[in-house]
Structures are given as structure tokens and as C-alpha cells.
Chain A
């Protein structure tokens, strides 16, 4: 700290301290605290604000815990986000390994360039693309029907299918990149040594590559789970009547009911969920936060 002052002088040090302070206080910590404060207050008409009814309580949280429908939607969101996370992990791991250790080094930037195209095209259009592909009279049914895999068109967007397909496609790259970074940092000699000592391929992965890529896997899982559980656009595009997502309930409170207090209670539950998940991943993979966010 004193070092900064000596190097950059008092004016610049003032900037170096105030800018992050403004960020962390005004844009991060205080807003989260206000969110929590709102969630503890009942929604009141303007003339009753500050009146006898304007007291702290857990009424908004009771609204959630006494509504079986909302609890059910919450746990379905958690469950299907976890499934999406696992699918993304299974899809990404072989590809990350290929890019880091198998592909010729001068081909890797080209492959990354191709993989980045969907990322630049934006989240909303990635999910919209699947809306077009999966539609009942859409190209997927035409293709599969044409080559004789299916006899009748399939209603893809039913139950949680559409949402899961969309979430996996939209967020799989957030799993791929951290795992690639982790595997790339592994010394290839370790793999060769294991081969020379006669380890079969699956054991090399299980005992050498996967343990080394743990920070990447943890990081990818946290990102994909958080993005999936917090996704708004994918469920609203690809959900069927039978699949509602927790963020849709939050939106209902905020926009339709205009009840910001209950809305913030539900948003706070989402925040708690993600915090619990991050903690769980750190325990499970025995990594620190600095390893996850890289």
C-alpha cells in the first residue's frame, strides 16, 4: 500500500483507491445489501411508507416457502441447471483435451476462431437459432424424417427438453475455455511418463489429467450453473407450458405484480443458491476462489 504511494504519488494513489472503492461500494456491496433490506419489508402503498406497517419481517420469504408451486419450480431449476452443467462438462472435456494436447499447435488458434463465432453472435441469437431449428415444422424434423430416423415429427420443445438443449448450446463454451486453460498448463511429459509406465488411457485421464484440470472444471461448473439458473432469455424462448424457470417468477413479481419487495426476496434466494453452489464446488474440488475466477 505504502509502495503505491511512493511510486505513483498522492494524486494517482487517490484515484487507485477511490475508483475501486466506488465500484465495490456503489455498484456491488451496497446494492446487494439494499436488495436484502427490500426483501425484508412488505410492499406498501406510498402513503403507508414509514408508517406502523413499514417494519422488517420475513413475510416475503414466507410467500416463497408456503407456495408449493414456487418451491417446485425452484428445485426443478436447480435440478435441470445441474443436469445442463454435467452435460456441458461431458461435452467439453474431450474437446478441451484435444485442443490442449492432441491438436497441432498451429491449428489451435484457427479452431478457437471458429468456436468463438457463436460467442460473438450473442446469447439471445444463440438461443433463437435453436428456436428455429427445433420448431415443429423445422429443419431438424425435416432432416431426421428425410433420412428415416423418425417416422413422425417430434415435438422437441416439450417439458424441459427445449430449455436444456438451448442452455447447453448457449453456455457450453463457458465450460470449454477454463478446462482448456487448466489442461494446457499440464506438462505433457507427465502424460508421456504415465504412458511409458504402462497406464491405460482412461487411467491417465483419471489419475493425471483430470486431477490437474480440477480448477478449470470447478470454474466451468460454477459459470455454467450460474448462467443456466439465472438465464432469462433461453427459458422464455424455448420453454413449453410445462417448464417454468425460477427467473420467470422473479420477473413476474418485478414487472407484472410490480411488487419489488417480494421480487427482491426471490432474487436474493437466487443469489443464495449461487453462493451455496460456489462454496460446494470449492469444497468438492478443494480449490480456492482465486483458482475459480481466472
Chain B
């Protein structure tokens, strides 16, 4: 075996180990939800149980926190998508120093620790006598999630052809039509990806929410307070459900992607065959037909 093959083998082994490293802890955490032991563990195995799922279902505060999480995440999507999209269009139309300055301010929240954003949001609104609560968590989360949306939309804008808008204007489209019929449809993929990222970033946010939530809870903060006080395997039950959802989502996506890929490949092959057929002279075509027929 030469050095090159050896290094390829080594890197493959490494990738395998890395994937195990990424997934094994999640499997352990999930399986611990089924263990009939007061403390979350898979070893020693104390028998199969579903009681942690029953406990989870009866935990009203947890269910309430979960509905808060969904509510906030939707609000964050609704606020940060318009802000991020507008910011991307704005920054795309300015040049020079002002652009770098604006860019710097816009990405700053991504590079700031959540604790800092949380505390400054709390203090800022406290000045206007706005008490802490989930509304502040929403605003605090928007401050950095808008930046993610801005970056995604800005990347998509690089492939936009402004001449399309010119053409629409020349043909008599109104300003609103240019936006609604030309710009926004071009941005759809980025807006969709932005909404997905915004939703999940909001749902998993801990640091900002912790400082701004007041007396309310979101799922992440509630889980955080649970694992810090008394740990029971109900958290594992919740984790197992989330993992199952994620895996189902991932598999569905993968199956759909492969099907689309295969479909596309078949289409191109079909097209190639048709082209070959069309370019071949009549005699060759009949000859090959008889040859394949015999």
C-alpha cells in the first residue's frame, strides 16, 4: 500500500470516528430515557420503563414553556425576516466606507456573547420602564437573528440581475410591483432558509432569554433550570423525542433529495438519448434498431 492510499484510509477512519463522536452521546442520552433508574444513566440497566414520558406529559410547566418557545420563535421569524431583508437591500445599495461601517455594526450582534446582548436589552428597555418578560427575549433574539437573515439575503442578492427591475420599470410596473413580483421572488430561497434558521436559533437560545425572560419560561430555560436543580430522566425523555423528530426530518429530507436527484439524472439521460437520436442519420438509426432487435 502506498502512502497516498494509506492517508486516504486514515482520513476515512478519522471521519468515521468523528461521526461516532458526534452521535454516540445523543444515543446514550436518548436511551437513558428508557431506563428505570432515578438518575439519567444507561448503566447499570434497571429495566425498561415509559414512566419518564408519562412524567413529561404531566409536567404542565414544561408544556407551557414549550408553547412559549413556539410563540417566541414565530414572533422572531415575523420580526427578523423583514428587518434582515431590508437591511440586506440597504447595504447592497451603498458603497465605500459607509458600507463597511454599516456591515460592521450589522454583524456585531453575531460576534457578541449572548449574555451581553441579554443584559443590555434588559437595561435598555428598563430605562423606558418596560419590565423583563418574553417580549424582551423576542427583541433580544431578533438583534442577532436579523443579522443571520441579512447575511443570507445579501448572499442571494449577489446573483440578482438589476436589469430585470429596470425592464419592469420601463414596461410600466409600479414600485410596489417591482418589489413584489421581481425582487421578493428572487429572494425566496434565502428568505425560506432565513426563516428556518431564525426559528431554530430562537428555540434553542438560552443566554439572551435567561437575562430577559422575567418570570416566564421558555423550553430551553426551563430545561436549563431543571438540569441545574434536580435532574430526573424526564429531560432525557424530552431529548429522545427531539432527537427522534430531528432524525425523522433528516431522513425525510434525504429521501426526497435522492429522489429529486435521481429524477434529474433520468431527465438528463433521456435528453441525451433524444439528442443522439436526432443527430443520427436515418440509416444508422434503423441499423442500430435492427441490431438491438436481433
Contact = CB atoms under 8 A, between A and B. Distances in A.
Interface in A103-127: 103, 106, 109-111, 113-118, 120-126
A250 B119 contact: yes
Contacts of B119: 35, 250, 254, 260, 263-264, 267
B215 interface: no
Contacts of A86: none
Interface in B184-231: 200, 203-204, 206-207, 210-211, 220, 223-224, 227-228, 231
Nearest to A201: B7
A132 B127 contact: no
B120 A267 contact: yes
A160 interface: no
The range of chain A's interface size is 35 or more
A130 interface: yes
A231 B7 CA distance: 36
A201 B122 CA distance: 52
B83 A20 contact: yes
Contact of A138 (B41, B174, B179): B41
B143 interface: yes
Given A122-B220, A125-B239, A226 B112 contact: yes
B23 interface: yes
B124 A137 contact: no
Interface residues of B, number: 96
Interface in B71-128: 82-83, 86-87, 89-90, 93-94, 100, 103-117, 119-124, 127
Nearest to B108: A28
B146 interface: yes
Task: State the main secondary structure of chain A at its contact with B.
Answer: helix
Interface string B217-259: 0001001100110010001100100110011011001100100
Nearest to A109: B257
B29 A132 contact: yes
Contacts of A237: 227-228
Interface string A1-40: 1011011110110011101101110111111101100100
Contacts of A264: 119-120, 123
A264 to B, nearest CB: 6
Contact of A232 (B121, B175, B206): B206
Given A117-B26, A124-B204, A7 B169 contact: yes
A139 B115 contact: no
B203 A122 contact: yes
B253 A113 contact: yes
A111 B3 CA distance: 26
Contacts of A123: 204, 206
Nearest to A38: B123
B157 interface: no
Interface stretch (A61-69, A207-215, A286-294): A286-294
Given A6-B169, A98-B11, A274-B113, 19 more contacts: A11-B176, A27-B140, A32-B116, A95-B14, A97-B11, A106-B261, A113-B250, A117-B23, A121-B242, A122-B204, A124-B223, A132-B28, A132-B40, A139-B43, A142-B43, A250-B119, A251-B115, A289-B103, A293-B103
Interface of B: 3, 7-8, 11-12, 14-15, 18-19, 21-26, 28-29, 32, 39-44, 82-83, 86-87, 89-90, 93-94, 100, 103-117, 119-124, 127, 139-140, 142-143, 146-147, 151, 155, 165, 169, 174-176, 178-179, 200, 203-204, 206-207, 210-211, 220, 223-224, 227-228, 231, 235-236, 239, 242-243, 246-247, 249-250, 253-254, 257, 261
10 contacts: A8-B176, A8-B178, A31-B143, A117-B22, A122-B203, A125-B29, A132-B25, A236-B228, A237-B227, A251-B115
